[in-house]
Amino acid sequence: MADSETSDQLSVFLQSGIYRFESSNAIFIDPVRVINRSYTRFRVSPSAYYSRFFNSGNANEEPRVSSKSRKRKRKEKKPRTLNEREELADQRHQKARPCLLKAHESLLGATDLLVMMQKLSDGCSFSEHTDSCLPSAEQSFVELESVWQASLYEITLNFNQATQNGAESDCGFNLIVLDPPWENSSAHQKLKYLTLPNRYFLSLPIMQLTHTEGALVALWVTNREKLRSFIDKELFPTWGVKYMATLYWLKVKADGSLISELDLFHHRPYECLLLGYCHRAVDSECLSIFKPIPDNQIFISVPGDYSRKPPVGELLQEYVPGVKPARCIELFAREMMGGWTSWGNEPLHFQEARYFF
């Protein structure tokens, strides 16, 4: 990439938090910068958001890795035959693998971006500090949630983009994002959040929430083949959603390396976002008018806390049908975003005071 192009990319990235790689279907996201565009009085702390992978203690990483390697060698087992579901899961992985590798190579080739990531991990912030705007006493947004309007008053989300005519309020949403609490042994063991059996999600009123001009539905899923089969055969058909494409969230560390080996069967360094279209007139040909969505697109970021997903709404906007700006809702939301309706048991979970400076 030419120096001028690199400079332009960095300039856009500093403003938006999104870095688009040339000659690649991959995008790098800085969730902190993207989220901070929704705030007017507070700023998310990069060190708090990235606490799992941006740790100053990583200076001793080489011995730690060596220790893991020795531990892995001790536990090394003979290869076993995969069962039918595991074979299907591996086939999905092998299909996506070339795209994931190419995306990771694009990141490693963007040395300017890697330098900025490393500075952030060393305690530098992409965002400008605005401490003078903060209240003198620390407050917990989760506690403020119990007081009517207190949360919105203190947080001051930017709702300018959400301005709609009153007539639109009863027409539904044209972007629906879901991150359901799927049954998950890891979440159960770590007591991170309550989970639900798959059958409970069949009753979600996706069709009723859909805008009269249709909606893009984005569903976060794990890499379990049993879950994918349930979505394909039961969940999407019940919701009236036509599957269109799979996007991949590739997780990396501050130095650009993957958080785990790409081919590690049970702990792969990526998650999937399934996209589909929904229209209230299910029996018509309306679905054919929606914009095609390229399959196997990749977005890359350093993960935040356990189960926290990066903000992807902006990346999906070009595929959202109907009114502009889009009417957006997140189901099972764990943080609020400016211009969005957030629904769930913990809509302010990631807006505790410790996440902000």
Please give the C-alpha separations between residue 286 and each of 99, 177, 278, in angstroms, as whole numbers. 31, 21, 9
Angle, in degrees to the nearest 10, between helices 84-109 and 111-121:
100
Q: Which pLDDT value is given to residue 70?
A: 47
Tell me how crowded residue 83 is: count the other CB atoms within 10 A of its CB.
10
Instruction: Give bridge partners of residue 250 from the DSSP assignment.
Output: 270, 300
* The two three-digit tokens of residue 278, written as one number: 């929904």
- CA 19 from chain centre, in angstroms, equals 15
Instruction: Give me the pLDDT at residue 171, please.
Output: 83
SS3 215: strand
Strand arrangement, sheet containing 340-343: 18-20, 26-29, 297-301, 241-251, 270-278, 215-221, 175-178, 328-331, 340-343
| Res 166: pLDDT | 42
pLDDT of amino acid 129: 38
In this structure, the number of other CB atoms found within 10 A of the CB of residue 51 comes to: 14
Q: Where are the beta strands (DSSP E) in 213-269?
A: 215-221, 241-251
- Whether a cis peptide bond, with omega within 30° of 0, leads into 311 is no
pLDDT the model gives residue 5: 59
Each residue's pLDDT expressed in tens, for the chain with a length of 357 residues = 556 656 688 888 988 999 999 878 899 999 999 999 988 888 898 888 998 877 544 433 433 344 444 455 555 566 678 888 889 999 999 999 999 999 999 999 999 899 888 877 665 544 443 333 344 344 554 555 555 444 444 555 665 544 444 445 568 999 999 999 998 766 555 566 788 899 999 999 999 999 999 999 999 998 889 999 999 999 999 999 999 999 999 999 999 999 999 998 888 999 999 999 998 775 556 667 799 999 999 999 999 988 899 999 999 999 999 888 899 999 999 998 888 999 988 888 898 888 888
At residue 162, the pLDDT reads: 44
CA distance 239 to 42: 37
Q: Would you state the pLDDT for residue 186?
A: 62
Q: Which residue has the tokens 């690199």?
A: 6
- Residues 61, 64, 69, 72: is their CA dihedral positive or negative? negative
Q: How many CB atoms lie within 10 A of CB 4?
A: 8
DSSP string, 15-46: HHSEEEPTTSSEEEE-HHHHHHTTBSS--B-H
Handedness of CA 261, 298, 58, 350 (dihedral sign): negative
Both tokens of residue 246? 């799979």
